[in-house]
Structures are given as structure tokens and as C-alpha cells.
Amino acid sequence: MAQQATMFTIGVEEEFQVIDPQTRELSADVNRIFPRAQKLIGDAVQYELILSQIEIATPICHTLADVHRELVRLRNGIILAAEHTGSQIAASGTHPFSHWQNQLITPKEHYRSLVDAYGQLIREQVIFGYHVHVGIPDREAAVYILSCVRLWLGPLLALTANSPFWENGDTGYASYRAGKWGTVPLSGPPPYFHSREEYDRTIALLVETKSIEDSTSLYWDIRLPERFPTIEIRVMDVCLTVEEAVMVAGLVRALVRQCYEQFLRREAISDVPVEILRVAGWRAARYGLEGELLEIATGRLLPTHELIDNMLNFVRPALEAEGDWLRVSSGVARLLLTGNGAMRQRAIYKRTGSTRDVVDYVVSQTRAF
């Protein structure tokens, strides 16, 4: 068991909004922030699609304590860098009122090529996500895990849903970010793959037909990066707080580890059609923690809290093996009590009637105390 525990390393990527503290609008100020951020946290800071967006990426972490320490360090680094230039940093999947038409594309070849390829669908992606990489060097096992973990994408999204507003209106969605991202080709849940050979054959066909340039252009909610021996789960909205982000990273690693244990036992996985997974994901994006979600294994609608309990029960052996059960289960319980980011943003708006106040709240929650 100890040997397996060292295999499941964690790497986290968080995408943040750059905010003008006077107007609370998105601010295309990343070029001014970036040099100072690099001095503070090095190559962990990265550009993203638009100039009002900034990303951090942790080094390889072995424990949730590592993840917590790194996220505190990196969040504080970009917050300090932003404050030095008169800007702020906010962790929300969408901005409450800034318009996508006003955002400037980062002038790098990669992003220009995306706009050339996908046009307005990419220009509209003024969204901010949270990606967790889990180390899994065995590629055959990784393909199995991809087909296994995809059954649990719905509750992961429901827990992290943090984007209820868009262009000064309440969308009615807990994660409007997920809906916007779903318009991009080759996004959403991946298909079922029986083997690594089938996976590689599919990628080769997509490249051959010029559907994608290479595997980095796959935007599935869970994918196998070409450059790293990891599996990447990317269905989540960026989390309001560090504690939530750490809890979700623990859940994701436990899902990967538990599915790996099933791989070792050669357990069969249900070949659930992508259409069912898309509906399950839509329900999670629409209702978050406040409705019923689809339990893939049974086809039943369950209260979200019940499905999340089922997920915790599924991953409990893996959480206990990593020493994470208490931290993750108590974090989930706390989130179910206080509400996800979408619910807390709406509570601020209901109390004040101001989306500017929502931005102020998100900025305050983003700070890594």
C-alpha cells in the first residue's frame, strides 16, 4: 500500500480573474502583473486565453498538505503582484457582469490559432476553471481510469459550481461556465475506451482527419495529457477558497486511486453512452447542490447530497489509504452545509442586490489566509 500511495501524485492548475478594484470589471492587466508574479513564484504563473486572466500551476505534490501549502503560496503570490499594479484577483467560474466582447485575446500564437479555428465560440470563453492532474504512469491503466472516473464527473461539478452570473444576469445555472465550455468541439465527457490501443487509434484518427492538431486539442472533462504521465480532471469551476480546492484535489486523487484498484482486479466498467453523461453533467451545471442529479450506475435521480455521499463511500478506501479521509469528508460536509460558490454568490446578491458586491465577496474569499 505504501508504494502505491507514492504513485498518485497531484498537480493543480487554477485560472483566476484580474479585477479593476474601482469598477470591479475584468481588467486586461496581466502583462503588468506577470513580471512581478514571476519574481514571487517563478514559472508557476502562466498566461491564459485572455489578458484579464491569469493561471497558476503547482509543482508535483505528494500530500494534501503539499497542495495546501503550494496553493497558499501561489495564490498569495499573484494577489501581491496584482495589488502592486493596482489590480485584484478573483476566483469565480464567470464574472458577474463583464462582457466577453470587451476582453482582449492574449497575443500568443497558440491563442490566435484557437480563435482562427473556432471563431466566436472561443472568444466567448471568458471562463475560469480548476484542473487536477493525478500521476498514473501506466497508460493502459490510465485509459481504464478515464472510462471509470467519467461516471463521477457530475458530483464533482456540483460541488465546485461557482459561476451563476453572466453579463449582469442570473443565468439560473450553478455552473454557467460548464455550459459555455460545452459549446467548444471535443469538450464534455469522453467516450468509453476498451483499451489503450483503441484510445490511441481514436486520437490518430482525429489528427488524421484534421479534427485536432494533436492530443493537446482534446478538451474533454477528463483527458490523458501527452506531455505528462498523468490523468487530468478538468470538469470543475475554479474554487472560491483554498480549502475547497484542496478538498476537491483529494477527492479527485481518491477517484483515480479507487478506479486503479478496480483496474488491478480487472473489474468491468459500464459502457455508458456519452449522451447520458452529458445529461448528467447538464443537471450538475444547472442545479449544483440544490436539485437532483443522475446516478449513472442505476439511472436514478437522487438528491445531490445523497449522490455525493455515494461518491464518498466509493472512494473511502482510497482516501483512508492516503490518510485523507478525515480532511476530505469533513471538507465535503462543510461545503454541503455552507453551499458551493454559486450558492454563496447568490446569497450576497440576494442580500445587497449588487453584482459589484458579489465581486468584492469573491475577491475576499480568494485570498489564501
Predicted confidence pLDDT, tens digits, the chain (369 residues): 333 445 899 999 999 999 999 999 999 999 999 999 999 999 999 999 999 999 999 999 999 999 999 999 999 999 999 999 999 999 999 999 999 999 999 999 999 999 998 999 999 999 999 999 999 999 999 999 999 999 999 999 999 999 999 999 999 999 999 999 999 988 999 999 999 999 999 999 999 998 888 777 889 999 999 888 999 999 999 999 999 999 999 999 999 999 999 999 999 998 999 999 999 999 999 999 999 999 998 899 999 999 999 999 999 999 999 999 999 999 999 999 999 999 999 999 999 999 999 999 999 999 976
CA contacts within 13 A on the Cβ side of 44: 24
List, in sequence order, every residue forming a beta bridge with 46; answer none if it has no partner. 55
Q: Give the burial string for 271-290 (b: 16+ CB within 10 Å, else e).
A: ebeeeebeebbbbbbbbbbb
pLDDT of residue 369: 66
Domain count, the chain: 1
Q: Provide the terminal-to-terminal Cα distance of the chain, rounded to the nearest Å.
A: 34
179-236-352 Cα angle (round to 5): 75
DSSP E strand boundaries for the chain = 10-19, 45-47, 53-57, 88-90, 129-135, 165-166, 169-170, 187-188, 219-220, 222-223, 230-237, 292-295, 300-303
Question: What's the CA gap between 120 and 112, in Å, rounded?
Answer: 12
DSSP E strand boundaries for 97-218 = 129-135, 165-166, 169-170, 187-188
Question: What's the CA gap between 284 and 289, in Å, rounded?
Answer: 8
Would you tell me how many other CB atoms lie within 10 Å of the CB of residue 269? 19
Question: What's the CA gap between 168 and 267, in Å, rounded?
Answer: 48
> 54 in helix, strand or coil?
strand
Question: What percent of the chain is helix, strand and coil (3-state, nearest 5)?
Answer: 55, 15, 30
Write the CA distances from 126 to 95, 123, 131, 339, integer angstroms.
8, 7, 16, 24
Full residue range of the structural domain in which residue 98 is found: 2-366
pLDDT of residue 213: 81
CATH of the domain at 35: 3.30.590.20
Write the CA distances from 44 to 74, 77, 99, 153, 202, integer angstroms.
7, 10, 28, 27, 32
Output the pTM of the full model: 0.96
